[in-house]
């Protein structure tokens, strides 16, 4: 495609170059220039009217492919979790997963670290990498056998792949649907102590330090977990971590009405842990902000709390909720797009997530002040199960480009 496109009169937000005024020139599927540039005679132009133009979101760790929800949320690349049916543990399945989103979505499969995600026998990581896997993962569960986890990290490290791990000790969380505390006790829910998270993280950090492998804890949600991540980073361990807006803005009190939209994995934590999560975003401990997109229909959610499936539809609310961190002055907006675009791309080993010349023209134009109300019945996702149902927010996608091609 030889099309030349110029997006002019924008507020540019780049996690590398910061915030500036100007435009972006797209030649084919790549960014050719940013800021002020000479306009080619054949360029198609779009007046951004001062709105924010930023890298499109890279959503690391989604459980379902949901194209309308991704596009509505400004997402053009996703790291797909291995917890599919069937599990992404062989090259044929990995290759198929990498191709099914084209031409409107880049899917970067996270291949299963073990066969069937059973936590026992290692999957064929090298072959899966060659088939398109951008990382390997433990899925929504924990590898209990430390010997197996060490082999996973060592093998993945040799292949240059990041291990995406779930940070909860499965022996402690088995059967639990909530975090132990006053709310779970009052509701009579089976619960596990928040300690399950730092226990799992501590082991995996030590194994990552021993092997030299790159480790990404997909969600860290407790103060003790953040302390471990900070200490490991100071020691030079190759660790990154992520979190969802739900664990930043909601505590376990949100479960009090038994509404299963607040049944998540990991479960919502105490208010003190929630505040620790906000602090961890502010001080740079958190590297990635993700949606945790896992839409669950009425059959899975219209059940007693303990019997309902965990998960939330998070893709199309990710941007609006994340902008709350900027309005609350927790982080600057260029730092936000480091969490939403550049850092998740780095975890996946993909050279995107910025507005630098030569980068893929994955672009997001949005109005950060546009008000709207999250309505579970109005979301375009496969299911609208969001714990933020009814919340007024600000920030709406105006245009979205994948490789210079307009999607919205």
pLDDT for the residue 36:
92
- The pLDDT value recorded for residue 3 is 83
pLDDT value, residue 265: 95
How many separate domains does the chain show? 1
| Domain CATH code at residue 162 | 3.20.20.140
Q: Is residue 250 part of a domain?
A: yes
Contact 170, 159 (CB under 8 A): no
User: Is 269 part of any domain?
Assistant: yes
Q: What is the pTM of this model?
A: 0.96
Q: Which residue stretches of the chain have pLDDT < 50?
A: none
Residue carrying the six token digits 């002055």: 329
6 within a domain of the structure (yes/no): no
The pLDDT of residue 89: 97
DSSP string computed for 55-103: EPEEEEEESS--HHHHHHTTEEEEEE-S-SSS-S-SHHHHHHHHHTTTT
Digit-coded pLDDT (tens) for 198-224: 999 999 999 999 999 999 999 999 999
Q: Which two tokens stand for residue 220?
A: 């860290």
Q: What is the pLDDT of residue 408?
A: 87
> Is residue 19 within 8 Å of 12, Cβ to Cβ?
yes
Quick check: is 45 in a domain?
no
pLDDT tens-place string over residues 285-333: 999 999 999 999 999 999 999 999 999 999 999 999 999 999 999 999 9
Q: How many CA atoms lie within 13 A of 203 on its CB side?
A: 20
Phi, psi of 299 (to 5 degrees): -65, -30
- Give how far the C-alpha of residue 362 lies from the chain's centroid of Cα atoms, to the nearest Å: 17
First to last CA, the chain: 18
The verdict on residue 228 lying in a domain is yes
Given a contact cutoff of 8 angstroms between Cβ atoms, the answer to whether 33 and 6 are in contact is no
- What DSSP line would sit under 185-243, residue for residue? HHHT--EE-TTHHHHHHHHHHHHHHHHT--EEES---SHHHHHHHHHHHHHT--EEEEE
- Asked whether residue 408 is assigned to any structural domain, the reply reads no
Residue 378 in domain: yes
Cα 212 to the center of its chain, rounded Å: 24
Domain with 261 in it: 56-354+369-394
* Residues facing 277 on adjacent strands: none
- Spatial CB neighbours of 331, under 8 Å, sequence gap ≥ 6: 281, 282, 325, 339
Domain membership of residue 50 (yes or no) is: no
Whether 294 contacts 364, CB under 8 Å: no
């Amino acid at each position: 495609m030889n099309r030349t496109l110029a997006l002019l009169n924008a507020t540019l937000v780049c996690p590398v170059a910061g915030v500036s005024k100007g435009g972006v020139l797209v030649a084919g599927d790549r960014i050719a220039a940013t800021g002020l540039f000479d306009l080619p005679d054949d360029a198609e132009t779009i007046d951004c009217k001062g709105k924010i133009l930023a890298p499109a979101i890279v959503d690391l760790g989604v459980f379902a492919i949901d194209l309308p929800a991704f596009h509505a949320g400004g997402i053009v690349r996703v790291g797909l979790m291995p917890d599919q049916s069937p599990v992404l543990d062989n090259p044929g399945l990995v290759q198929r997963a990498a191709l099914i989103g084209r031409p409107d979505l880049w899917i970067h499969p996270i291949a299963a670290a073990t066969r069937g995600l059973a936590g026992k026998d290692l999957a064929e990581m090298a072959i899966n990498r060659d088939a398109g896997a951008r990382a390997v993962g433990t899925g929504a569960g924990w590898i209990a056998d430390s010997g197996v986890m060490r082999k996973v990290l060592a093998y993945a490290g040799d292949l240059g792949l990041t291990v995406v791990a779930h940070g909860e000790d499965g022996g402690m969380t088995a059967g639990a649907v909530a975090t132990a505390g006053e709310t779970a006790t009052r509701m009579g829910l089976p619960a596990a102590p928040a300690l399950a998270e730092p226990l799992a993280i501590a082991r995996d950090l030590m194994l990552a330090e021993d092997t030299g492998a790159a480790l990404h804890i997909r969600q860290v949600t407790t103060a003790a977990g953040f302390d471990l991540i900070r200490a490991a980073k100071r020691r030079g361990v190759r660790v990154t971590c992520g979190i969802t807006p739900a664990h930043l803005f909601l505590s376990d009190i949100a479960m009090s009405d038994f509404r299963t939209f607040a049944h998540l994995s990991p479960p919502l934590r105490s208010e003190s842990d929630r505040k620790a999560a906000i602090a961890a975003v502010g001080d740079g401990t958190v590297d990635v902000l993700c949606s945790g997109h896992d839409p669950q229909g009425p059959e899975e959610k219209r059940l007693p709390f303990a019997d309902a499936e965990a998960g939330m539809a998070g893709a199309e609310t990710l941007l609006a909720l994340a902008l709350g961190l900027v309005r609350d002055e927790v982080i600057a907006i260029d730092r936000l797009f480091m969490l939403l675009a550049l850092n998740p791309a780095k975890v996946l080993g993909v050279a995107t997530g910025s507005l630098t010349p030569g980068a893929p023209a994955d672009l997001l134009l949005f109005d950060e002040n546009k008000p709207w109300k999250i309505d579970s019945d109005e979301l375009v996702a496969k299911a609208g199960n969001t714990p933020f149902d009814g919340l007024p927010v600000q920030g709406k996608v105006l245009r979205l480009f994948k490789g210079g091609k307009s999607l919205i």
